Structure 1
Amino acid sequence: MGPGWYSDPAGGGGYRWWDGRAWTSDTTTTPGPAPRTASSGGSRRATPWGWIVGGLAVVLAVILAVAFLVNRSGGPRDITDDYPTASSTVSAWDDGSTPTPTPTPTPPGSESPSPRNTPSEGDGGSRPCPTASGTADTPPSNDGRLHGGGISVAEPGAGWEQSSFPAAVMFFASDLDGRSAPITGTWVNILGVGELTKSDGFADVQSAADSVTSCLASSGFMSATGREDEYSREHKVDGRQGWTVRSRVESSSASGVKGSYFDVIVVDVGRPDSLAVVALETTIDHHEQDAMRQRVLDSVRVDG
């Protein structure tokens, strides 16, 4: 997962900047572009204002130079010439035109301000990804498994570590146990096991699996170019009704990573108000992760 604004793992309802390696000290309640302190190498978006300001300065310098040379040479001055005054605007565009503003990127993980995460619903509408109101993190166990929401999976193995990043990416889940693994200097994969609250819109296993996949794809990628599902099908776990989705999400980031695969499994464990979820991210074209992926997905069990 790349640099971006994510729900602050320290709580408080705000957002904190993840630079691709660690959480920074930059926080905000109204997420937008990368903070001024973020390094250019860690950001997936370039800010064009520096080029625009530089361009305007060059245009102004050329206009003043031409005016100076014409006046000095004694040449005629057309009364229609537009020299800058205190009340005029010097622009690289025609005065009568209106430049198109650069869109401000909208961060994930909150309903206010309006998030960019809008998974589709069965009726063709859309809704924002909810922010879970329950406990984000669950204490790790010592049995070699991750537990959350009434299910568990095997530890992914070497290279994966406990961190707050899965809770920030899976902001829509509670009772979460997670691990993360750095892939490059600006890309991190996640594994999370947790609980989805039905009142947040996760009403059944099929629609919940699709919504979780959409939330992950839109919240985890600052430069996602599209989502393509390899499959979406019924998937029972220990006889319990479930659904699984495997999705390929490509990215246009300059991190050297094409994007990620997301494997999502949602299970109805019999709790009246919630469902259980497993989400695993692996990297496109990193086939050394295939054996770990299969082992983790095959290890999903209902606790108790």
Structure 2
Amino acid sequence: MTQAGWYPDPAGQPQTYRFWDGAAWSQETTSDPYAPPPPPRAAPPPPAAPRPPASSPSQQPPTVVAGGAGAPPSSYGQVPTPGYGAGTPPAPGGYGQQPPYGGGFPPAPPTGGSGGSAKTVLLVVAAVLVLILLSAGGFFGVRALTGDDDDGDNEAGDSTSATDSATDETESSDPTEESTATDGTEGTEGSTGTTAPPSTQCTGGIPEPSVTPRRNAERISGGALSIPIPAGFKPEVLFAPAFAWADDFTPLVRTVEENPEAQTSWFSIFGVGGLRKANGFDDPATAAEVVMTCMIESPDQYSDVSGRTEVSSGEITVDGTDAYQLTVEIRVDNADLETEGDIAQVIVVDMGDPDMFGLYISQVPIGDQELLDLQASMVDRILVD
């Protein structure tokens, strides 16, 4: 026979307990499973007819069915088994079913209406955290997660060359030629046919933004530059570490494409920050080319790169300040996504600071005219703070 004690109310009321005396349920209820038993009921008058046999449902607890609302279960994982002194919890370590938390009420049973709400909240929170991590993780392999290209894939084709008539004009400052880094180490040949900059340039920054953007902010700032927040974009500081060459980099992010089955996503990004001159960035033109190469070669930014083609380059002014811009088409070959690659723009601003250049980066998908128009208009909206 089931032991007498307080059990979850079979009527299904959340966080409510009713006393089972071994033969019947009490009229009284409580919210405290450690409460003393209710006073015994007055003995009923003698029956007019013989009492039913002991096996009668009125005298025996109904058969327990998992999840049902009959008699209390003989052992319920979330409710202490009665039997010890009223109001006296079991000794530490001596009760295997004790809820793993201190104080408060044990959760109501799963079939008791809202008893699963706490677990649901935890699951929702966990799901949100997973989505955040997946989103960030999707970018940190981005732009596709399947690994680097083979060098042989980029040995042929005009699209693999970073040189054209525009780069010929700036050949004297082209860092794609074989060069020696400031620390004496030589650059290495990258997967797109360019010379990869030394690691001190591609990973020498402190990209995490110094100030977290306000929720209702209209602009973001970084490295003494600022840009407005376009519709559909929002600041995502978790993406900043992927821009490892920059300092104080604040990115604006918009999801362009998602493939949940492959856990792969593509994002459009606008961001501003700084570029430390001590890391070998001597002039805006050279710095723009080095940053573009670092971005293409970074496993946290692109994989499966199939080609690079320069779109435009040259000196410009940003908010009345001298700067240099480089725009490149970056193509990728990823079967999990329809996006073909990015039109990426790097602008390095010479603000006269002896230690730092200003840095602006934008990445928008090839063929997305809305975002291409935004990219073109954003340059005139950069401010030097």
TM-score in terms of structure 2 length: 0.47
| Paired AA for residue 325 in structure 2 | T
Task: Indicate which of 213, 221, 230 corresponds to 1:147.
Answer: 221
CA RMSD for the aligned pairs?
A: 2.8
SS at match of 1:277: strand
Paired with 1:19 and 1:234, the residues of 2 have a C-alpha distance of: 39
Once the two structures are superposed, the pairs formed by residues 1-304 of structure 1 within 5 Å of their partners are 21-23=135-137, 43-45=145-147, 121=175, 124-125=178-179, 126=187, 127-128=197-198, 129-134=201-206, 136-138=208-210, 139-141=212-214, 143-158=217-232, 160-185=233-258, 186-219=265-298, 220-254=301-335, 255-303=337-385
Q: Percent identity?
A: 25
| Paired AA for residue 207 in structure 1 | T
Who is 1:114 aligned against?
Answer: none
Q: Deviations over 1:68-101 (max 9, x none)?
A: xxxxxxxxxxxxxxxxxxxxxxxxxxxxxxxxxx
Q: Deviations over 1:2-33 (max 9, x none)?
A: xxxxxxxxxxxxxxxx9873338xx9xxxxxx
Paired with 2:146 and 2:277, the residues of 1 have a C-alpha distance of: 34
Paired with 2:134 and 2:358, the residues of 1 have a C-alpha distance of: 28
SS at match of 2:234: coil
CA distance 1:290–1:135, shift in 2 (3 Å):
closer
| Paired AA for residue 304 in structure 2 | S
| Paired AA for residue 121 in structure 1 | P
**Unpaired runs of at least 5, structure 2:** 1-131, 152-173, 180-186, 188-196, 259-264
Paired with 2:306 and 2:292, the residues of 1 have a C-alpha distance of: 15
Paired with 1:192 and 1:171, the residues of 2 have a C-alpha distance of: 13
Q: Deviations over 1:163-192 (max 9, x none)?
A: 235312211111111111111112122221
| Paired AA for residue 223 in structure 1 | D
| Deviation at residue 43 of structure 1 after TM alignment | 3.2
Paired with 2:319 and 2:145, the residues of 1 have a C-alpha distance of: 43
| Paired AA for residue 238 in structure 1 | D
Aligned length: 199
| Deviation at residue 278 of structure 1 after TM alignment | 0.4
Paired residues of 1:165 and 1:180 also in contact (CA < 8 A):
no
| Deviation at residue 295 of structure 1 after TM alignment | 2.8
SS at match of 2:376: helix
Q: Deviations over 1:104-163 (max 9, x none)?
A: xxxxxxxxxxxxxxxx726532332432343522321555112111111111222x2222
Paired with 1:290 and 1:213, the residues of 2 have a C-alpha distance of: 18
| Paired AA for residue 280 in structure 1 | S
SS at match of 1:241: strand
| Paired AA for residue 317 in structure 2 | K
TM-score in terms of structure 1 length: 0.59
SS at match of 2:286: helix
**Unpaired runs of at least 5, structure 1:** 1-17, 28-33, 35-41, 47-101, 104-119
SS at match of 1:236: strand
Paired with 2:256 and 2:134, the residues of 1 have a C-alpha distance of: 10
CA distance 1:259–1:167, shift in 2 (3 Å):
same
| Deviation at residue 290 of structure 1 after TM alignment | 2.6
CA distance 1:248–1:135, shift in 2 (3 Å):
closer
Q: Deviations over 1:41-62 (max 9, x none)?
A: x73249xxxxxxxxxxxxxxxx
Paired with 2:305 and 2:133, the residues of 1 have a C-alpha distance of: 17
Paired residues of 2:209 and 2:250 also in contact (CA < 8 A):
yes
Larger Rg: 2
